[in-house]
Amino acid sequence: MHIDLKKELKQSNLGRTGMTILLLMIAVAILAPVLSQYDPTEQTAASLVSPSLSHWLGTNHVGQDIWSQLLYGARISLLVGFGVGTLSLILSIFFGLSSAIIGGLYGRVVMRVVDALIVIPMVIAVILVAAYIRPDVLVLIFLLSLLGWQSGARVIRAQALSLKESGHVKASATFGASRFYITRRHILPELTPILLVEFIYGVRRAVFIEAGLAFLGICDPMLISWGSMMRDAMRFTYLNVWQWWLVPAGIALSLTIIGLTFISHAAESVLDPRLRGEAVA
Amino acid sequence: MIKRQNLSSYIIALVLILALNFLLPRMMPGDPLMAIYGDEALIAMTPELKAHLVERFALDKPLWEQFGAYFLALFQGDMGYSYYYNAPVVKIILSSLPWTLLIVGSSLVISTFLGIVLGIESGWRRGSKTDRVMLTGLMSLNGFPDFFLGMVLLIIFGVIMGICPLAGALTPYSGLSGLPLVLDVLKHMALPVAALTLAHLAGSYLLTRNTMISVLKAPFMLTAQAKGLSQNALKYRHAGRNSMLPVVTMTGIWMGRVVVGALFVELVFAYPGVGQLTYQALLCRDYPIIQGVFLIVTISVLLANFAVDLLYPQIDPRVINAY
């Protein structure tokens, strides 16, 4: 499977839209201090002020600037998203490849554990653990990665198993290549497009769950994220503040997830031969 | 009929769930009794009660004996006692479970059915404008977290238009019965169910559509066409029925997602189900409730998956020979 994923993604409308949204969010996260003049945790005005020139989206119940909170919220979402995406991808690669290459009893045990983890609803397990340990950002990234690598491992294993049987890999084995060499030189490079898709899935799931946990108020309460903004805003739905408080936070979160969904669907259509060519439309 | 390897992964899942539930409070620093029972228990705690509880959980014994005591209690249907509500955990959860089942069940049925129909129609018209609009629209919808959809629906239909009630599952103290009562329940559940349905529609839609596209290329479709069957018979009886199969296998996993979604949506609508209960328990650190909810939810999802595994060969006999 030799696919130039980057080129194909650029050719698909969905892929382009998704990439644009994601790059925009990354830019917002990086440039947050430039784009806003207030510290998101500082009380800068009276509480629940309506939007004005000095406070574009007004202020929240403790007088913090909502526009700065919105910008800085992108940091937490993306940090957790990319952190979990990377870490769970590493775990998926490790368990997926090792179970395919080594096989035998080890491979079977890993796959049984994967099957078991897939049926346990991850969010509720995270809620249970988080209720006890009240995680900060780093612990949350670890926790979500530990509970989220299994479906990626299954996909990677399936691909690695079929690659293992292909001609060039067998040929390389007859020349005396070690299993490690074959994995590194022949199997891993071929998996790159799939790894990218799994990475995006991981990021998406983590952004989603982080927002949910912040919404429930399980994470560090001092942390400003879109989820915690929505949680605070929800208590004031009887006022009209939701227009510039609740809705922007929800839209920012949804837009990020939609962008990631578009990228993964475009990439998936490229990879799946049955669906191939349709995302280009 | 069930494969042995499947059974073993369910057993592993069950062991993982029980181990997490058992080990977590006992590994916390400090008094394990507090970690098991939460802050509220300390107020109610007398020395006699404490001694009784230590004995009940075998907390002064080695870990494996504690596990034995825990497992035995669980087996007898005892999930612990909530000092916040002053009632056994099982009783509290069972009283809020029906509400959650009501909204989860309704939205699961509606979203699966709607997703299949839309998926069949969309896959049938693959590449057309209708298909592209549906695909992009539903995928975007998929990006909205269920609790945000819930809040938007609440503001539009509850606050601005005032058609739907803002909170709860029943009008309190209304003394309704019979048909008015049913209508009242329906009116209260409309928005939560709508939020969950919208959030989970895309899953069954995308899966049906993708399968539909590959089923349409199958040789039997050509045969069916050659027989001169009508469009609708081709679309639904031949292609559609086969495109539904992967959706069935996913139902168990989706149920898990909808239940979790319900936890959040219930919070938005102050719906008196398990989600609301969990949220309250998180606020006051009522650990027995959180543990009980975790156990009941995960085990029901496990059972749902198991049931799907058992039923699947009946629906698609090809899988029996597939291994």
ipTM of the complex: 0.82
Structural domain includes residue A192: yes
pLDDT category at B3 given cuts 50, 70, 90 is: low
Residue A206 resides in a domain: yes
Contact B35/A at CB under 8 A: yes
Residue A203 C-alpha, separation from nearest chain B C-alpha, in angstroms = 13
Residue A279's pLDDT is: 39
Residue A242: inside a domain, yes or no?
Answer: yes
Beta bridge partners of B87: B82
Residue A112 to residue B5: CA distance in whole angstroms: 7
Instruction: For residues B37-64, give the mean pLDDT.
Output: 70
A112-144, pLDDT tens digit by residue?
A: 888 888 888 888 888 888 888 878 889 899 999
| CA dist., res. B53 & res. B38, Å (int) | 13
Q: Which residues in chain B touch residue A262, judged by CB atoms under 8 angstroms apart?
A: 139
Residues of A in contact with B19 (CB under 8 A): none
* Residue A122 domain-assigned (yes or no): yes
Structure tokens at B218: 């199958």
Q: Report how far residue A240's alpha carbon sits from residue A246's, in angstroms, rounded to the nearest whole number.
A: 10
Lowest-confidence region among A16-25, A160-169, B106-115, B155-164: B155-164
Q: Which CATH number belongs to the domain containing residue A84 in this structure?
A: 1.10.3720.10
How far does the CA of residue B51 sit from the closest CA of chain A (Å)? 24
- In chain B, % of residues over pLDDT 70: 89
Angle at CA of residue A228, ends A249 and B265, nearest 5°: 85
- Is A54 part of any domain? no
Q: How confident is the model at residue A277 (pLDDT cuts 50, 70, 90)?
A: very low
Q: Which residues in A lie closer than 8 A to residue B25 (C-beta atoms)?
A: 132
Q: Is A24 exposed, middle or buried (0-12, 13-18, 19+ CB in 10 A)?
A: middle
A46 within some domain = no
Report the gap between the CA of A178 and the closest CA in chain B (Å): 31
8 Å CB contact of A250 and B279 = no
Give the domain extent around A234: 14-24+65-275
Q: Please count the structural domains in chain A.
A: 1
Per the domain annotation, does A149 fall within a domain? yes
Instruction: Say if A30 falls within a structural domain.
Output: no
Measured CA to CA, the distance from residue A61 to residue A47 in angstroms comes to: 5
